[in-house]
Amino acid sequence: MKKTLAAILTSAMILGSLTAVSAATSLDGRQTASAHLDQSGNEVVVTVDLSDGWSAEFAPAAVYLYDGPVSEGAEPVAVGLTLYEEVYQGQIAIGEDQKNFRSENGITSYDMPDGSHDYYFEAGENVFFMVTVNKDMDGDAVMERFAVEPFSPTDDEAPGSQLFTHEDIIAATDKVMEEFESWDGCELHDIRYAGDDASSDENLAWLNELKEDAEYTQCMELLMDFHSPTEEEKLEGTAWEPDHEYTDYQWWLARTADGEWTVVTFGY
């Protein structure tokens, strides 16, 4: 299913960069996990229900949902994606000719020729979302595990920070993702802001020392959880262990007074 969805990601011009992921928390008696996905400037908060032993992975443009623990070779039973409006409207039109086409309560759904179940809805003004569910699952029941809502922070609002705006953290995360996407075979599980304490004068001085003639005025740390590839050829030139879960992997970024964020160093 991941391979199929990779094709969907390409053909559907999926938008999105992972901007923040929370740890699993209890909400109304359920275990949940949430992520902020940026959709062309319109941020959506995607929350998935992980009760009864389910689990999730958040990628730059998708949320993968499993009906058990995430393990090597495990296939997700559902994936949630953000869409451009024109792609959303195109998929609705395609669905009219598909099996079990329904459009009710703001949700359009139908079965694809391969038996998978597709659901489309607007999560807010100009925010469009898709959930595709494995053919062997009860699509309606799985769909109920997804909750999507728009998120519009103010300019001075950033989760857990008194130093940076929400847009600052998004911009820094985008820089990290540009580097991470070149790491062949690695699977991203989580990326998050490390907190204001990391942006100390001491750490700023350290990052300025790492770059000759640097004149950084601000620094930030992001933390990442990811899984390394199993294939030996994809490990060449790295210090990673094969098939290993790396947690709290450090990314240090800095910027000048009038510049953009730069990834200065990363690792442990």
Q: Half-sphere exposure of 243 toward its Cβ, with a 13 Å CA cutoff?
A: 7
Kindly state whether residues 125 and 204 are assigned to the same domain. Answer: no
Kindly state whether residues 182 and 144 are assigned to the same domain. Answer: no
156 is a domain residue: no
Maximum Cα–Cα distance across the chain: 64
158 is a domain residue: no
Tens digit of pLDDT for each residue in 32-88?
A: 666 656 555 556 778 888 888 888 887 656 788 999 887 777 889 999 988 888 888
Kindly state whether residues 22 and 104 are assigned to the same domain. Answer: yes
Tens digit of pLDDT for each residue in 135-161?
A: 999 999 999 999 888 765 544 444 567
Q: Of 151, 180, 203, at which residue does a domain stop?
A: 151
Kindly state whether residues 24 and 116 are assigned to the same domain. Answer: yes
Q: Half-sphere exposure of 165 toward its Cβ, with a 13 Å CA cutoff?
A: 8
139 is a domain residue: yes
Kindly state whether residues 129 and 188 are assigned to the same domain. Answer: no
Tens digit of pLDDT for each residue in 210-242?
A: 998 899 999 999 998 888 888 888 888 788 888
Distance CA 145, CA 238 (A): 38
Distance CA 130, CA 39 (A): 13
Question: Could you give the number of structural domains in the chain?
Answer: 2
The pTM (predicted TM-score) of the whole model is 0.56
Distance CA 44, CA 38 (A): 6
159 is a domain residue: no
Those residues whose C-beta lies under 8 Å from the C-beta of residue 16, and which sit 6 or more positions away, are: 37, 38, 39, 60, 61, 62, 81, 82
157 is a domain residue: no
Q: Print the domain residue range for 84.
A: 2-151
Kindly state whether residues 145 and 170 are assigned to the same domain. Answer: no
